A and B are shown apart, each in its own frame.
Chain A
């Protein structure tokens, strides 16, 4: 199979090229037609999979592609005109233009093949030049500028034509137009990958090889030895390399070295076939004379394989990827077999370093960087998963390559650990962590099983898998091919037996511990010990994510708080920020499952604040109405996307977020019903609710929002049964593990919040309420009701007290009347006015406020702390508001700082004790970072059940305002 691929790869035939062209153009066409990005991305993803486009689109395609060619032929016409009048200056201009257009055309077609038109023009120019040079007389007559232009043209042409020598030669041999050929195969709609495996017409193959050998001959003219060898080599398909087959020992180290250098030198040059290069190098691996040389060649093979796919946005063909992995594994084999060989990219090794044989004493250095290869491999795997349509079988098959990558990473890690390069080991470990952190135990289990199964399947399965690209036994087989221990007769890939036989030393199979947690622990602790800052941060986030996935909320939260990641995350790269967001989302879900509603809301609310969840989690692109993105931005964004299998279900996330908001917000709204400046817990929720309330008719709920809104309406009336039913009918619950437990929890929470809402709303209408009545109304146990009501009394949310002998709640009816409320507001505004006056005076006189006034001010503050009930609440609110918007962030900032500081974890286990200052001072530093969303996401997360002021848990008795910043003290007593 490999050879088939290679054959195809290095063929000069026009079919492949034309197909690629087509696809590319179709993409363009889609873009042009639809104009909307959705369509475009659809096509983009299709390029990799299938393409049964309709015919009319192909029409457009043609024209789009032709446009480039038209431009080109126009230029050629200009050149012809210039030739007629012997105008070298404009000729030179046109030539430059032509070259530029050529680049464009090549970019469009994405091929290495130069259009025939161009070659034709080159031939024409060359002939004309020769003619002009021959005509000495005409030359004398030319103006100086014209002569000069002619001279430059001569040189340019000479240089330029060298690149296309082959093509020109071929053109000269058969000047028949091949343009038709270009178009003849357009029905062939195979995609790139499958096409690779398509068996081709043998005649064409032969032809392509002939042309290739011609090319080689041209290149190697004058070098008898090399040329001959090269020729043989290229014809190996029909009859493999007679000379070497007969007597492989004739090949010397120098020959291999020379050839290697030659191939490397050709790299990146125009007209060098990338695939072809890989093939040549692969061949060299088999004739390499020393292990070190083999290693060196392999390094180059791998680099060349990476070159096969030139574009950043598309992924490397999967078969190439697999071969690449195999090559690296062979490299590791060599390194393991000969411990004296060292691969490293810091020093340039000696010229003849690799000549040293296997029995050489001392270290042999080979240039290369295994870690970089691994990272690239990982990158390509990621990219391919991004590009492949997740609903196809192909995607699943691609996912099955993960164990292969794991094996590779494991081996590389072993190697770098052996080399004592712990930094690199940490990086490799991170790659492995990033592959498993998002997998719940079941998925992990599945992967483990798959890996085990692959180990067991025997070579028989291989044949079946040959085309499918199953990673399983391909490895072994390919390996035997690479080392060529026993070349299979069935294959057309018949090389000489390799000089250096590399036995399989490193395991080809990943080993997985029973639990993903165990594996994570091992890797993560290695990273914490040796990794650099970024590696550690990422590992920490993965760790948090994984803990949250395993329902270990408190551990995950502690890790987040102790690591202080939220402090610096906005300075990190975007992909780490995305990881942070993902971890936060997961943490939120975890808190929800653990029935920690306000924590869950804290985690999620920031993600939903801007309505850009998709973007923040890199799970799709959301269109913004307000600013258009440039194509570059879009491209970048697309490159960041998470592959489908890593997605966090957005519907579930939204449901969780809104339900949390509902549970917090409904009682809150009921509590502060006729207070104008009520505290808002969740802005997005309020907005949605407002929109919903504006509707004249409300239909039955359809999406998540509608459901939650319907539940909200029911809940605010105290109808918990209906609210629960609506919530329960959401589809997203199917995605939860332990669905029943979560729903039970939800039921309980809804009842509790319904009780609170009921009390808030109707307590003023009752003189007394009996406990029994409440228990039956909300189906809660007596102790639950008692506990909840007591909490509300202590927090002074409910102005009532128990009458113990009769078991009922007696309300005190201290709710202010409208007039009283206004009076309170008025008084409060007055004091604010005085405050600002004093502050203004302070600012003017430079703080020279003398004794009595200053102390009085402090008094008021104390008073604010000691005052009780609603008044206090209003007062603090006013403070916050009065400070304008700048004060607001401070408000939350202080809150946040408080929570953080208290809960502390003073960077103890994480070696950064930024916390030393204590949390009080936090007000200042946290105000700054409130603006960034990533930061925000955290800000409310903390261990803040108290500070968030969720009515249920607000403090019993506020601590006195102490020497802290004013904002802090005020907010702390905010909910008295």
Chain B
């Protein structure tokens, strides 16, 4: 709500001063005692420091994001244990969400680490960890599926759909009409 109002304000108002715009070509003179040069000068050292801090922060954050599925994994494991090994609505729901979550996470692995993308930040490590953890989650899901007996890992799952074999011979007969 508040954001919306602000947006309406920025376009609807008659005039506005943008303090962040520090380009020199402007009508209004700089206030007395304000030196634009000095500002430009320590901006570079300050920004380097800032960038370092930011990349540190980013890589830290990236690792955090990469580790996030671990909690999920534990949670899922607990839920699965709770659901038991019988096929019913609850256990099937949990199993399928356990399978779906890692898949959707893996699909958006690039998007996930987008905010932490930086030339200096090494994202491969976190990404690999993230993928590994998610694969682990998926494995857990598949294991659960199997333990529910929903994976065709037994001969019985394959034989049931086979039609009975044809017989070569035909024999009829029996008692005579009486």
Q: Do A and B bind each other?
A: no
